[in-house]
A = this chain, B = another copy of it.
């Protein structure tokens, strides 16, 4: 048997043993795709196990994250920081080999995957980031940045809308360093692919501007490696369609039964015998040596790149300097942003944000992002920065098209490529389209900013389908997400700080309408999540806690009560940040023995009750309001001084 075949046999045995030992996993893809991914690792993927994060490495996104057993086996064989013992702990709590690949858990993993389709869009983001770097820093004789982004997908990934959106955009942008490795086994959990999908995939990708390579023998290493070699030379993004047999070599090969099937010890023994593998959890020395040759090649390539970079530093000192400084966040001066945008106080938050964003981008080059076809409306656009496109890779504003979901996963990918400050934007009502990608972002703690504008029922005339009522609660429910709903520019920039300085994913809810100047707002207060705005009496009768545009209303309501009772107003742009504060601070802001703590927000988010304690009352919106002028809608929902005053009075009266 030749050494390649032997290596792949041992790889298959490793994957199968890993799954059987765990009693859980996905055998089908782990066997069926072994030749594809072995070819990729052995001959193409540029990596250095001694420095897995170096800038110009190739990126591999395992979008079909359920191929994790195969992936971990490959990482082990090719010298990453994983051992055979780790494979034995597959899918066990606290192991380095979780059920699906997780960022920051396993070395070499570029992105957490599992929910299908997400990885395709992540890879598109990485390829965009590469294109940006390539354009900025390469010069004659110096391809300082030229890495490929490989994305491994199955039939399931390609059915997901988020993937289709991303593929369409990648074709339009002609991201030539992007290569999709499509494990086309034509079997899904439900059975044969043809029961749900009878597309001509090659023709479809071609229609979207991709190059297509077909490999009929996708279970043969030689065909696989040559196809990848061809793809690397393309001028367009490329999909390689590997026809494979799911669960190849097992009794149930080619059927859905093997998708998430697990072999018994007996079946495993027979399977291993067919592969001429006698040992358990074992890599023979000749196979290990074969893999180590690749590992050494990767290390050497990295060294060559370092040498090239050293040369570049002398021949192109300016470019080199700017490359070294490119991702530096220390130079970011939020105070200056505050100062420069203070003149827009009193404008709508979306407009204020436009200026803040442009100021930020002026200070540092690593800001990039865009909107889902609502640029003129959400205003999340960097001034004078151009549009990133097929023809202009220096543009910083990305037109994502009406593709909210892919947009969100793509910005994840941009920020994962390297330390970009990525942002995206749509209307708050359509944040729901983005939730699955937001969840992955927050799970990975990728610090991206999402600017969701038109953030309350005050959107008015577009009607209920455009009224964001449940979205604030849905966003705040995502573990690890920080929501900022600022009432002015100071609070907005505090949200920026949360993302840029604290490296936390941050979603903003920004008003479409103007919010008048509010006395007493504070950047430092907003950094604490919430703070006392008005009165600041130590023992108020009533505390009104509000966010965003409702802060203005809260201040007006408090004024109504002047002389009668003491009303404190708290501006709370972020519940999540406020929650993290000390009890002493929280008690100072929210007086515990007040007769009433009223939360004022045009949402139906009950998280307020948790943050503000048992006595709090929620003044929110609990049903859709019809379509009408903003004023009509806001009045109907009872968000007027008169209505709120009446509500407080009734609550106080009820206590007597």
Chain A interface residues (CB < 8 Å from chain B): 22, 24-25, 65, 91-94, 98-100, 102, 112-117, 155-157, 159-165, 168-169, 171-172, 188-191, 194-204, 206-209, 256, 260, 371, 373-377, 387, 389-390, 399-406, 429-430, 432-433, 435-436, 439-440, 443, 460-466, 469-470, 473-474, 477-479, 604-607, 609-610, 613-616, 618, 622-629, 632-633, 636
Check B196 against A463 for contact (C-beta < 8 Å). Answer: no
> Which residues on the B side are within 8 Å of A94 (C-beta)?
626, 628
Q: What distance in Å separates the Cβ of A164 from its nearest Cβ neighbour in chain B?
A: 4
Can you list 27 A-B contacts (CB < 8 A)? Answer: A91-B461, A92-B632, A93-B626, A93-B628, A98-B464, A98-B627, A112-B464, A113-B465, A114-B463, A159-B373, A160-B403, A168-B199, A169-B196, A171-B199, A172-B196, A188-B401, A195-B389, A206-B207, A256-B376, A433-B436, A440-B465, A443-B624, A469-B479, A470-B478, A606-B606, A609-B609, A609-B614
> Which residues on the B side are within 8 Å of A22 (C-beta)?
461
Alpha-carbon distance between A465 and B438 when the two chains are bound, in angstroms: 12
Q: What distance in Å separates the Cβ of A143 from its nearest Cβ neighbour in chain B?
A: 26
A172-B199, A198-B171, A443-B464 as given contacts; A607 in contact with B610, CB under 8 Å: no
Alpha-carbon distance between A401 and B208 when the two chains are bound, in angstroms: 22
Nearest chain B residue, comparing its CB with the CB of A161: B161
> Which residues on the B side are within 8 Å of A206 (C-beta)?
203, 207
Q: Which of B157, B165, B624 contacts A479 (CB 8 A)?
A: B624
Alpha-carbon distance between A463 and B191 when the two chains are bound, in angstroms: 24
A203-B206, A614-B614, A627-B99 as given contacts; A403 in contact with B609, CB under 8 Å: no
A91-B461, A114-B466, A604-B477 as given contacts; A400 in contact with B196, CB under 8 Å: yes
> Which residues on the B side are within 8 Å of A256 (C-beta)?
376
- Further 14 A-B residue pairs, CB within 8 A, beyond A115-B466, A195-B389: A25-B461, A91-B629, A112-B465, A160-B404, A169-B197, A189-B373, A190-B373, A191-B399, A196-B399, A443-B624, A470-B479, A474-B477, A605-B606, A614-B615
Q: What distance in Å separates the Cβ of A648 from its nearest Cβ neighbour in chain B?
A: 17
Nearest chain B residue, comparing its CB with the CB of A390: B198
Alpha-carbon distance between A615 and B615 when the two chains are bound, in angstroms: 9
Q: Which 7 A-B pairs have the closest CB atoms?
A: A161-B161, A614-B614, A93-B628, A196-B401, A114-B465, A203-B207, A99-B627
Alpha-carbon distance between A403 and B193 when the two chains are bound, in angstroms: 13
> Which residues on the B side are within 8 Å of A404 (C-beta)?
160
> Which residues on the B side are within 8 Å of A606 (C-beta)?
605-607, 609-610
Check A93 against B633 for contact (C-beta < 8 Å). Answer: yes
> Which residues on the B side are within 8 Å of A114 (C-beta)?
462-463, 465-466
Check A462 against B375 for contact (C-beta < 8 Å). Answer: no
Alpha-carbon distance between A390 and B160 when the two chains are bound, in angstroms: 21
Alpha-carbon distance between A116 and B402 when the two chains are bound, in angstroms: 8
Q: What distance in Å separates the Cβ of A212 from its nearest Cβ neighbour in chain B?
A: 11
A406-B161, A473-B477 as given contacts; A98 in contact with B439, CB under 8 Å: no
Q: Which of B196, B201, B604 contacts A373 (CB 8 A)?
A: B196
Q: What distance in Å separates the Cβ of A162 from its nearest Cβ neighbour in chain B?
A: 5
> Which residues on the B side are within 8 Å of A169 (C-beta)?
196-197
Check A156 against B402 for contact (C-beta < 8 Å). Answer: yes
> Which residues on the B side are within 8 Å of A478 (C-beta)?
470
Alpha-carbon distance between A115 and B626 when the two chains are bound, in angstroms: 16
> Which residues on the B side are within 8 Å of A204 (C-beta)?
204, 207-208
Q: What distance in Å separates the Cβ of A45 from its nearest Cβ neighbour in chain B?
A: 24
Alpha-carbon distance between A77 and B373 when the two chains are bound, in angstroms: 33
Alpha-carbon distance between A404 and B159 when the two chains are bound, in angstroms: 10
Q: What distance in Å separates the Cβ of A342 from its nearest Cβ neighbour in chain B?
A: 29
Alpha-carbon distance between A112 and B626 when the two chains are bound, in angstroms: 13
Check B439 against A430 for contact (C-beta < 8 Å). Answer: no
> Which residues on the B side are within 8 Å of A168 (C-beta)?
159, 164, 197, 199
Alpha-carbon distance between A399 and B436 when the two chains are bound, in angstroms: 22
Alpha-carbon distance between A488 and B79 when the two chains are bound, in angstroms: 50
> Which residues on the B side are within 8 Å of A610 (C-beta)?
606, 609, 618
